[in-house]
Chain A
């Protein structure tokens, strides 16, 4: 029986197109357009809540994490150190647990020694609004409520301090 080659030819074409796509090409657009940070209110583990609207006028650092995320543990102690230095300067920090349970997130924060305000995004709506696909991801929001920088992956201390300083 003769096997049709058409599916394999199509597949080869798709793979070929992908592999020959230029890796060094940029589409020429700029990153100048800043987006408004999506408003939300999060119930905190420590009681009370964190509202983005109520913190307008401050530089806000939001760190999305999960207790099971391999790379999140690398940056949590660093975030705590940076937060200690910048909280007196009016910077607001928030840790948002996603795809997680409350108990596991609480245990993780305790183990990591992260004491910044934290809560669980139970419905996943905050995660979706911020377009989170992987963890950890950190957002830097300026005093006008615009997202000025987003970092996917574990951050270095120098970079985090640099991004906050830029907004102060």
Chain B
């Protein structure tokens, strides 16, 4: 019932996803890339009482890994529509996107309060960030509508057929992993540059609040269906 698959190696799939991030396909990845940056930057700068930059990688690695795993896992399941587990997810994607919007709003609320309530500082631990990052990763996979690159087309050729769905899911996971690694590397570089500046640290609250605002807008767009307008107008502008 589907297109014939081609032989794609594991490394090739990771590279395909990684390189897509730095190519014309970034236009489609813009559906979530600015919002991921808002999450990572927002949580980095919202730490109460923090005056100096903690090591970027150490501070953001747990959340980045959690986001990468959760996003990539759900993304690959949604790609592999022939898997029994994927069917109910795909056929309820419209409703799940609304739930994703609510979850994004809750994460935004956490970042907002964390920057204001010193009494909440005890909750601001790597384990909390890991949970929040997983929630954001799942939400982003649900709201994403990927443009199908030639390599992803080949992968979906496998993932949408019953006989090769597992192989296709595995390759889709690796492809998503490549995109996520590129996303995280970009976020780390951005934070590393920002956190070197003392002026930026003086505006840490402001930066964190701006990130919260971006995430709140995203959550509301998902709940109201206005995400369609973001895709049609903002992404369309770039084409």
Contact = CB atoms under 8 A, between A and B. Distances in A.
B79 A133 contact: yes
Interface in A13-62: 14, 18-19, 21, 23-31, 33-35
Contacts of B165: 27
Instruction: Point out which of A21, A33, A132 has the most chain B C-beta atoms below 10 A from its C-beta.
Output: A21
A108 to B, nearest CB: 8
A154 B149 CA distance: 8
Contacts, number: 152
Interface string B189-231: 0000000000000000000000000000000000000011101
A100 interface: yes
Interface residues of A, number: 53
B107 to A, nearest CB: 20
Contacts of A27: 162-166
Contact of B28 (A11, A18, A70): A70
Nearest to B14: A19
Interface residues of B, number: 55
A123 B94 contact: yes
Task: Give me the 5 closest cross-chain CB pairs, A-B, nearest first.
Answer: A153-B153, A152-B156, A153-B148, A68-B235, A134-B146
5 contacts: A124-B94, A133-B79, A134-B156, A149-B1, A153-B156
Interface of B: 1-3, 7, 9-10, 24-25, 27-28, 62, 65, 69, 78-79, 81, 87, 90-94, 130, 145-150, 152-154, 156-157, 160-167, 170-171, 173-174, 227-229, 231-233, 235-236, 239
Interface of A: 7, 11, 14, 18-19, 21, 23-31, 33-35, 66-73, 98-101, 104, 123-125, 127-129, 131-137, 147-154, 159
